[in-house]
Copies of this chain bind each other. A is one copy, B any other.
Amino acid sequence: MAEVKLLGTWGSPFSLRVEMALKLKGIEYEYVEEDLSNKSSLLLESNPVHKKIPVLLHNGKPIAESLVILEYIDETWQNGPSILPKNPYDRAMARFWAKFLDDTLAEAFRKTFASAGDEQVKAKEQVQELLKFLDNELKGKKFFGGESIGFVDIAGNALAYWMEIFAELAGIEFIATDKLPHLCAWMEVYLNSSFVKEHLPDREKLVDSFRARFQKTG
């Protein structure tokens, strides 16, 4: 077995988080594409609790949960650029915003998709309010962590890339971009940075896969 192995799927922003962290650190790894409709026994044994990708295997020992994996990578391979900031307060802020993306914002997005009419209007307002916090956080900064890509940026790749595609397909206009200048600037810079660009999954392929899922689930 390769020293470092990643079980993932090509279209998952959570897999991509781990891939980005590994690439950022310059770590060689073997990537294993999982078929989520027929999960490998390695995946099921490695993450018996959630049975989900991504899973990182390091010398055969499995780690699950993408944010947990990012911290593990940063602590294990201390050479190369840091993923989390060095200062404890900045680290706390990075963890706070990453959790905000995964819990608070993701739940608000989910509600927007799962509702209609007045309820959807309210859910969209909630998303807009939450995005305003991120916009505010990005004031005067290129990336969440400052001058280079770090923990919150990587955690935010679903927001930067996936959400807009998803919203377009669902016919929902999410983001009043004129009211979120710093967030929009971050998306622009992030998605166009050569490091990010070369790792994003193909837009058309992603659109097709979303479309297939929409048709299946209605």
Contact = CB atoms under 8 A, between A and B. Distances in A.
A7 interface: no
A133 B61 CA distance: 17
A89 B63 CA distance: 8
Interface residues of A, number: 28
A92 B71 contact: yes
A88 interface: yes
Interface of A: 48-50, 58, 61, 63-65, 67-69, 71-72, 75-76, 88-89, 91-93, 95-96, 99-100, 103-104, 130, 133
17 contacts: A49-B100, A49-B130, A49-B133, A50-B104, A58-B89, A63-B92, A63-B96, A65-B95, A65-B96, A68-B95, A71-B92, A71-B95, A72-B88, A75-B88, A75-B91, A76-B88, A103-B103
